[in-house]
Structure 1
């Protein structure tokens, strides 16, 4: 049965009247009610909503169906019907079209035409904000299936006739605007003599022309009053209309109110907007971490605190009371005047001002303007302070500008949650959900951060969970172990813990922190911090994003440095100008990420790297740390691309000034990588990763003494020093022997002393013949055991010693060359006679 819980709009009615013979008939409402009550119920497919309350009389029968599936793209958080999982789209029919194509089905041209009409209607001819790639792909499929394109102009016209222009004029003449939460929102009204279709696109046309962030239309006809909302994305119109029984997308929603006149509907909408506007207070703006310095400490010590915590001002305390405030500028001026040893309080103009936690933004702004410093404390003087608010935060809040650039709008929460679910295994989905609920119950904030968020946005699988807690991570760890079992190992001094679940999964939880570098290339000093500080200590913008985890805010993307835009533009960018000086290893990490994702280093970051190289930024970087970063590069799947970047950026010279970085080097690296991939099934069994053989490729052209002089690069990794220093020598010798080999035994002698990494290099650098020899050696030659053993030879009069060893070696040589047992014994006896004669 195909039914609609309500009436069709005039356009759809006309379409079914003219084209209905192509499709199955719609069951009239009366017949539908009777059949639902009398017939056994099977599967229910719901479209365009996942809320049972919007199904009218059909909702009474939902529980009786054997299964229920909702095809819905609205992302309604209060939906109670099970949704079909699909990729984002503006049109409900788009995912269905893609599913039809996946199953190899071909609809009729008329069916394809109906699908295409739905796509154009729901996406506003592909210009509505929620339009996604799925809509374009689905439309292309419909066209390929022979959809009558003329239907679009007939039933979903793009232009405006005189009647529609008149409706827009009437809307514009009866509109009021208001500013809510910094957004300009318009409310228009229309009294209609009859039902009027297609009001939503007309409203959006008016909204775009006037530049409103959001617009609502209250339209009343004799049967009902409908409220339509359209938005550019800054205002969630679906959330606004949800208390009125409506629903939809954040950018497009509606609600139907029966028996509600326009003035009453206007009042209800105004109340909903007022309730939905988030009136932020000082408590909302405040950072809970209040960094302080001792009032009696020196100016130099206060400056060190400013540097350590990466803040521009710090309150001064004495005996637990706030007695002063010091800014970075004041410290710099005092040091310039030779007052670095003076007490910090001696240059402070007085204590910071206070605001109560419930103070509105306007009050915070007034107090800030009257304050002598760059911050105010939240709470009641003399303390304790519940938080701190800086001038920058107040400025952003005053102009209602998100701390995250609007030119890079965050994905919708529901889309991010769906992307996260696809990136995680089922077990990790459950685990993350459990931790999010526990964190929220404990008043903590939990975020997935770093490369995990990057990979979610890139639609890559996430295996390592990098979870940061704003608050205290061990508190969350204890709650998780108590609620869900498992073991907990706490590192109180570092604010971290490791929770091992009953299933054996280890989860590291880290308290959000800030870090500073006492000198270039040093290991950082770490202290507790907020989420912004934690992200600021990351290496690149693409790794400096966070994704909220939890029932209330799950799926919110925190992107303070434009990482999402850099992913779109395929660039790697450092967060600040001293990034490479703070941690020179970031240069090698930049090559890894740029090579892995086929990105480029942002022009500004390239300039910073050149200046850092000129300043000798890596001079303090120990050779073992440098070698460790190099090895990570050599393990990358796109190692050739990475090494080329190291060459282009001048970093290969830091490994050794004689490294040419020419085409031959890249060809060696390419050959080694390809040989390793071809034979990794037996190489993996040896416990070596892909990077070990590349050490030989990198050092191939350097003299042995030069490699020996840089042996500290290899650290203390077992076998790596030998490969770096002696590997090229042994591989060259083996290649020379293979060139002269006439028998299998010659090949065996050339290869038997080489480790797997060296064998990979033999295959990479020696051509097809060398690869065939290595393949034979690994699969057959090294497994060959001679039929003759020492006991047999001793029984024939041989004495233990060198001669016996030579005889056994002769037997093995014969075995390698395919001799049978008798010939192996003869070869051994001949060798024994020669050695003893």
Structure 2
């Protein structure tokens, strides 16, 4: 291999240098290690197809070693990925390109890694950005970057030089920017990704703008108008507008600000259909079509906004339509074709998504990622229809490109089928088509991109609904994240219940970085104990009062085969959330101080939460973890939600394919036990039966109205029995009915699968055989002594089983019996007393006498034990004598 790399967790400068060096060395591969910086991560979500790269995890699977290595934006091997170091051949040729002054020494040097010494060739220049060095090399060799390459290199330079304002900026940096401008550098895109800080006055102005924001729909375009007023002049309005633009990502933004007697208008747009320059020219201003400004004197802000709204329709054009940019004809696959066949089509055509048709009707779409997952799970022979997405987002041939952009963002799709007036498939638009059509007005819309409207700050909700201690703890965790240079989030059920205003102190923290190292650092600061779990990259913080917090590394889980426990890879917060069970559990709140309280919602989770919908995140979710079928019912009944139609369809399909049977009994039992802890467990059990899930857990159980009545009685009885016995298992309790009348062989299978104790199965069969006489005795309210002769002291699960056959009156009498056997004790008469009193040897007779005495005391708690035991002994002796006489007579 020949490799170009940069430091771990690369920024724009490092990654841009990699792209520039690949332009110089086309036969090299770019490899990055760790998690890219946040703004680079966002950039790559859109452009990873334009600037392909490999990760260190991917090259770990490659057998070849690295024979040539180019390292950029770092002075040596210390900060590059460990996998790259491991792959280096002993005679590898290494070149370093960097701008840091601490390594500007000899042209050649050596460094030892382990037992190997490597020789370096260094290209070191003192510039503000390493990208400036690479740009100069390209210029000297006559290598011309295209627009996207020039813009990427420009972002790297602007970011590392603080927009050319840092003291480290040199003429080489300025010359590089000029060269990149000559080759198409798009400064609007640079402004989207280069972050900067505002002054206090600018921050206050930004806050006012955010508070005074209104949205208008004009000719199907979303126009955002923000305004503010201040009596003093605040410089850098363009910087404030850029910050608003970057944070809120509106389609079209018009800012109107009065400072003293002057009113400033600043406009920006991502839409090729909106002419901002034309609009502000009406106010005597100028600029570019997508960004322009104007200054007015002695006018009211309201008057300016009114005029802007009235003029805007004049400067909005219809623009490009779907028919102008779509690919046609469309390569499709038939619904009955196998997953393997569709995979071959994708490999031949290079398509990452293919529409699925049945007859002449479009019925779904499938992505390369889904196909590969299905094949990994051994589903290659199944029809592609079984894994396709049938919830289609389509458009007509005359749909504007701007509308297609919105559809892609709002529905998180990377391709949209185009239909004609007869609803016949005539084309398809991909994100690449949108990029080419939009040119300078690029929007982030890849499958890995979050819809910006789903990101909002919920600090107010946090302060309203959480205890002060929890808020302070979350803020401290965010501070520690900054100190460790790691993005930190609280995720999952805690976020879900916070939005639902339900108390939940089960806190799960996810870190984009090393979760275990973060946990150790936080534990030290918080005086807590840390318990690490190296295999899963997780740890638990345990406080002195017993309070716990779980900390995890942002990770991707994959399954070797359906039903297995997941394998784990380090990942990003987006992918970490994507691995979760349902959308309502796939949200995160950022805790780092600069973004504290920002809700991260990549999959329209808030919408599902508001509408009460349980939805899986991808079509293979139930195959990867079939216990999610049970979990879906738990959440559905807990919140009174509904399983979404497409999710329900997939659940039933995978249930019929017996995926639940592939899961260990321990995991299924664990999920059922969680359901039984809910407030309405019987409602959930009924739903499990309705969906057929219960039949796959208890294969010889038939859920009839009679069984439902039995379970209803058990759930009424359980609180009473739990007051009298400890550690009652609800799972065992309902199993007394669900396992009724099973044959011996199946019962043994169930015992092994779900871990029932042997004694439980024995008591189950006893009660089953004696149920009718026991039921009759309790309902007839026979004396406790008579019931005791049949039932004895029993055990709680015998009583629970019996309660399933009793009405309320019968259950109350059974409880009185249970109270009697729990409270009744022989206080004066013992086995030793009987032996000494009546000169008897140890044997069955002693136990028989004591049992009769105990049974009589059940009926009469004030019984005189001494006198009664004498009568029992006398009666016993008379019976023995009568038996002997009878035996002699028979002889």
1:450 maps onto 2:495 in alignment:
no
Extract unaligned runs of 5+ from structure 2: 1-187, 193-208, 268-284, 286-290, 293-339, 344-350, 354-366, 376-413, 415-430, 882-891
- How many angstroms apart in 2 are the aligned matches of 1:263 and 1:826? 111
Q: Is the 8 A contact 1:219 1:262 kept in 2?
A: no
CA distance in 1, matches of 2:434, 2:714: 53
1:797 pairs, out of 838, 846, 860, with 838
Q: Distance in 2 between matches of 1:219 and 1:809?
A: 93
1:398 match = 442
Query: Deviation of residue 213 (structure 1)?
Result: 4.0
Check conservation: 2:511, 2:551, Cα contact below 8 A: yes
Q: Distance in 2 between matches of 1:219 and 1:513?
A: 46
Give the 3-state SS of the residue equivalent to 1:520 in structure 2: coil
1:828 Cα deviation from its structure 2 partner: 3.1
Answer whether contact 1:635 1:689 (CA < 8 A) is retained. Answer: no
Tell me what 1:262 maps to: 262
Q: Pick one of 788, 802, 814 that aligns with 2:829.
A: 788
Q: What is the distance in 1 between the residues matched to 2:432 and 2:867?
A: 92
Does the CA-based 8 Å contact 1:218-1:225 persist in structure 2?
Answer: no
- Alpha-carbon shift at residue 614 of structure 1 (Å): 3.4
C-alpha displacement of 1:693:
0.8
**Aligned pair 1:578/2:620, yes or no?**
yes
Q: What's the CA shift for 1:712?
A: 2.3
- Give me the whole-angstrom Cα distance separating, in 2, the residues matched to 1:217 and 1:434: 35
Distance 1:426 1:633 in 2: 31
Could you tell me whether the CA contact under 8 Å between 2:820 and 2:858 is conserved in 1? no
Match of 2:582 in 1: 540
CA separation of 1:486 and 1:831: change in aligned 2, threshold 3 A: farther
Q: 3-state DSSP class of the match of 1:766?
A: coil
Aligned runs of 1:454-603 on 2, under 5 Å? 454-603=496-645
Query: 2:495 touches 2:588 (CA, 8 Å); kept in 1?
Result: yes
Q: 1:299-335 deviations in whole A, cap 9, x for unaligned? A: x9xx9xxxxxxx989xxxxxxxxxxxxx979x98xx9
1:572/1:784 Cα in 2 relative to 1: closer, same or farther (>3 Å)?
same
Distance change in 2, residues 1:633/1:505 (3 Å): closer
Partner of 2:730: 690
CA contact (8 A) 2:215 2:223 kept: no
Closer/same/farther in 2, CA of residues 224 and 523 from structure 1, 3 Å limit:
closer
Deviation at 1:756, TM superposition (A): 1.9
Report the CA distance shift for 1:394/1:804 in structure 2 as closer, same or farther (over 3 A).
Answer: farther
Q: Assess, with a 3 A threshold, how the Cα gap between structure 1 residues 505 and 700 changes in structure 2: closer, same or farther.
A: same
| Residue equivalent to 2:397 | none
Between 507-516 and 826-835, the greater mean CA deviation after superposition: 826-835
Kept after mapping to 2: 8 A contact 1:588/1:630: yes
- Segments of 5+ residues of structure 1 without an aligned counterpart are 1-177, 183-199, 241-250, 275-299, 304-310, 314-326, 336-373, 375-389
Query: Can you list the C-alpha shifts for 1:36-67, whole angstroms capped at 9, x where unaligned?
Result: xxxxxxxxxxxxxxxxxxxxxxxxxxxxxxxx
Q: Displacement of 1:472 after TM fit?
A: 0.7
CA contact (8 A) 1:745 1:817 kept: yes
Residues 467-513 of structure 1: CA distance to partner in whole angstroms, max 9, x if unpaired? 21110112211212222223223333432222222333332211111
Report how far residue 617 of structure 1 moved: 2.2
Q: 1:438 to 1:831 in 2, by over 3 A?
A: farther
Q: Structure 1 residues 206, 447: closer, same or farther in 2, change over 3 A?
A: closer
CA contact (8 A) 1:806 1:831 kept: no
> Whole-Å Cα distance in 1 between the matches of residues 589 and 562 of structure 2?
31
What is the rounded CA distance, in whole Å, between the counterparts of 2:490 and 2:433 in structure 1? 26
CA distance in 2, matches of 1:609, 1:718: 34
Number of the residue aligned with 2:778: 738
For 2:227 and 2:443, locate their aligned partners in 1 and report how far apart those are by CA, in whole Å.
27
Deviation track 1:632-656 (CA, whole Å, cap 9, x = no partner) reads 3344332222222222222222134
Q: CA separation in 1, counterparts of 2:533 and 2:229?
A: 61
Q: By how many angstroms is 1:224 displaced? A: 9.6
Q: Deviations over 1:666-694 (max 9, x none)?
A: 222222112213553334xx112433211
The answer for the alignment partner of 2:463 in structure 1 is: 418
The change in CA–CA distance for 1:731 and 1:827 in structure 2 (over 3 A counts) is farther
Displacement of 1:254? 11
How many residues get paired? 514
In structure 1, C-alpha distance between the alignment counterparts of 2:844 and 2:522, rounded to whole Å? 66
Establish whether residue 820 from structure 1 lines up as the match of residue 863 from structure 2. Answer: yes
Quote the residue 1:833 is aligned against.
877
Q: What is the distance in 1 between the residues matched to 2:724 and 2:433? A: 58
Counterpart in the other structure of 1:441: 483
SS in 2 for 1:539: coil
Structure-2 change in CA distance of 1:217 and 1:549 (3 Å): closer
Higher relative contact order (CA 8 A, sep 6+): 2
Q: Matched residue of 2:702: which SS?
A: coil
- Which secondary structure does the structure 2 equivalent of 1:518 belong to? coil
Q: Distance in 1 between matches of 2:772 and 2:674?
A: 26
Task: Tell me if structure 2 keeps the 8 A contact 1:572–1:594.
Answer: yes
Partner of 1:777: 817
| Cα distance change, pair 781–592 in 1 and its aligned pair in 2 (3 A) | same
Relative to structure 1, is the Cα distance of residues 409 and 561 closer, same or farther in structure 2, using a 3 angstrom cutoff? closer
Aligned CA distance change for structure 1 residues 503 and 554 (closer, same or farther; 3 Å): same
Please give the per-residue CA displacement for 1:263-298, whole angstroms capped at 9, x wherever unaligned. 47989xx9xx99xxxxxxxxxxxxxxxxxxxxxxxx
- Further displaced range: 548-557 or 818-827: 818-827
Aligned to 1:711: 751
Q: Does 1:616 align with 2:658?
A: yes
How far residue 514 of structure 1 moved from its aligned partner, in angstroms, is 0.8
**Superposition map of 1:717-732 within 5 A:** 721-722=761-762, 728-729=768-769
CA distance in 1, matches of 2:772, 2:468: 50
Distance 1:536 1:567 in 2: 16
Displacement of 1:695 in angstroms is 1.0
Quote how far apart the aligned CAs of 1:523 are: 2.2
Q: Distance in 1 between matches of 2:487 and 2:590?
A: 8
CA contact (8 A) 2:721 2:796 kept: no
Q: Deviations over 1:761-794 (max 9, x none)?
A: 3334212343123321333332111342234323
- Does the C-alpha gap of structure 1 residues 453 and 418 become closer, same or farther in structure 2, counting only changes over 3 Å? same
CA distance in 2, matches of 1:256, 1:682: 74
Distance 1:834 1:393 in 2: 104
**Inter-partner Cα distance in structure 1 for 2:836 and 2:526:** 68
1:723–1:642 distance in 2 versus 1, CA, 3 Å: farther
For residues 388-432 of structure 1, give each alpha carbon's deviation from its aligned partner in whole angstroms, at most 9, with x where no partner exists.
Answer: xx989989993256977659745542234236x43xx55444433
- Structure 2-normalised TM-score? 0.50
Task: Give the match for residue 654 of structure 1.
Answer: 696
Cα 1:664–1:704, aligned 2, differ >3 Å: closer, same or farther? farther
The one-character-per-residue Cα deviations of 1:69-105 (angstroms, maximum 9, x if unpaired) are xxxxxxxxxxxxxxxxxxxxxxxxxxxxxxxxxxxxx
Q: For the residues of structure 1 that align with 2:229 and 2:553, how far apart are their CA atoms?
A: 52
Deviation at 1:453, TM superposition (A): 1.7
Where does residue 285 of structure 1 map in the other structure?
none
1:462 Cα deviation after fit: 1.1
CA contact under 8 A between 1:572 and 1:593: conserved in structure 2?
Answer: yes
Change in Cα spacing, 1:582 to 1:493, as seen in structure 2 (3 Å) is closer
Moved more, 723-732 or 824-833: 723-732
SS in 2 for 1:466: strand
Relative to 1, partners in 2 of residues 1:438 and 1:719: Cα closer, same or farther, differing over 3 Å?
A: farther
For the 8 Å contact 1:520–1:582, the answer to whether it is kept is yes
The 1:637/1:827 distance shift into structure 2, 3 A limit, reads farther
Give the deviation of 1:235 after TM superposition: 9.7
The answer as to whether partners of 2:462 and 2:498 remain within 8 angstroms in 1 is no
Q: Does the CA contact (< 8 Å) of 2:229 and 2:258 recur in 1?
A: no
1:96-135 to 2 correspondences below 5 Å: none
When residues 394 and 793 of structure 1 are mapped into structure 2, their CA distance, relative to the original with a 3 A threshold, is: farther
Equivalence map 1:23-42=2 (5 Å): none
